[in-house]
């Protein structure tokens, strides 16, 4: 029997106050490939966590082929980053991706996506802290009420059984924001004034002007970390 697939929509903050971008994680019915994107640019950029273990952070084929103004394709390969995750690890964890949401990067927004009642809003962390959403794969289930990262203070966002028998766990936890991250975000803000080959949301009526930025890093164990950041300082309109 085919697994029905799933869609999880989430963000950090409040729909009528400061908030992050809204994200979507999904798997198609009968498939075990998992896809991740900021919802407003899912047609331009997404992360693919394939059943084979291959992982890609890529400009979508449609956007790359159309050479959209919001993407400067300066290379032939549309994949911005490629790596590999372990598969069918039994009781071990396979953690290919973490998504970081620093409190300093939450902003007021007014687009219609924030009104979607299907979005799970995670409470904003205190200043100088971040929420980390962790994508974890296992090939064994946990006992009822238990899940990866629970013993570390994590909370469960979504448990999603996949068609190949693996289980995707989306968990979140709060941790102090690394001081060095502020410098990386500020550097990316400067570079985004002339859009580099990275992907961003665009404000209505300001085509090509970055609204939110994705800061990519490689953490311990070759885990990729995407940081959802703002293109503008908090005091800017």
Mind listing the pLDDT tens digit for each residue in 94-126?
A: 999 999 999 999 998 766 566 678 999 999 999
Q: Tokens 């992982």 sit at which residue? A: 55
Percentage of the chain lying above the pLDDT 70 cut:
80
3-state secondary structure of 150: helix
> Phi first, then psi: what are they for 14, rounded to 5°?
-130, 145
Assessment of whether the complete model's pTM goes beyond 0.85:
yes
Domain range summary for the chain, segments of one domain joined by +: 6-230
Closest to 213 measured CA to CA, from 236, 235, 191: 191
Give the span between the Cα atoms of 237 and 235, in whole angstroms: 7
Given a contact cutoff of 8 angstroms between Cβ atoms, the answer to whether 157 and 10 are in contact is yes
**What is the mean predicted confidence (pLDDT) over 50-69?**
78
Give the span between the Cα atoms of 121 and 128, in whole angstroms: 19
Give the span between the Cα atoms of 180 and 128, in whole angstroms: 12
Give the span between the Cα atoms of 87 and 164, in whole angstroms: 10
Give the span between the Cα atoms of 212 and 105, in whole angstroms: 9
Where is pLDDT greater, at 158 or 110? 158
**Residue 209: what pLDDT?**
46
Number of CB atoms found within 10 A of residue 201's CB: 22
3-state secondary structure of 210: strand
Closest to 49 measured CA to CA, from 59, 39, 40, 58: 58
Give the span between the Cα atoms of 107 and 130, in whole angstroms: 14
């Amino acid at each position: 029997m085919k697994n029905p697939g799933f869609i999880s929509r989430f963000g950090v903050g409040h729909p009528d106050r400061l908030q992050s971008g809204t994200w979507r994680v999904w798997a198609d019915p009968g498939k075990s490939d998992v896809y991740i994107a900021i919802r407003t640019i899912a047609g331009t950029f997404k992360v693919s966590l394939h059943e084979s273990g291959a992982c890609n952070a890529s400009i979508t084929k449609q956007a790359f082929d159309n050479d959209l103004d919001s993407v400067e394709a300066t290379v032939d390969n549309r994949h911005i980053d490629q790596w590999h995750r372990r598969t069918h690890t039994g009781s071990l964890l396979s953690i290919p991706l973490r998504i970081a949401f620093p409190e300093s990067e939450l902003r007021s927004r007014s687009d219609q996506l924030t009104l979607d009642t299907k979005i799970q809003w995670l409470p904003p962390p205190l200043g100088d802290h971040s929420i980390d959403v962790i994508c974890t794969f296992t090939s064994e289930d946990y006992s009822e009420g238990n899940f990866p990262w629970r013993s570390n203070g994590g909370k469960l966002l979504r448990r999603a059984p996949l068609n190949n028998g693996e289980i995707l766990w989306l968990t979140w936890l709060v941790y102090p924001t690394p001081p060095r991250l502020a410098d990386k975000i500020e550097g990316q803000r400067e570079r985004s004034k002339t859009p580099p080959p990275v992907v961003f949301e665009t404000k209505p009526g300001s085509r090509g002007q970055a609204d939110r930025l994705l800061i990519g890093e490689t953490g311990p164990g070759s885990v990729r970390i995407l940081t959802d950041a703002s293109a503008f300082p908090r005091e800017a309109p």
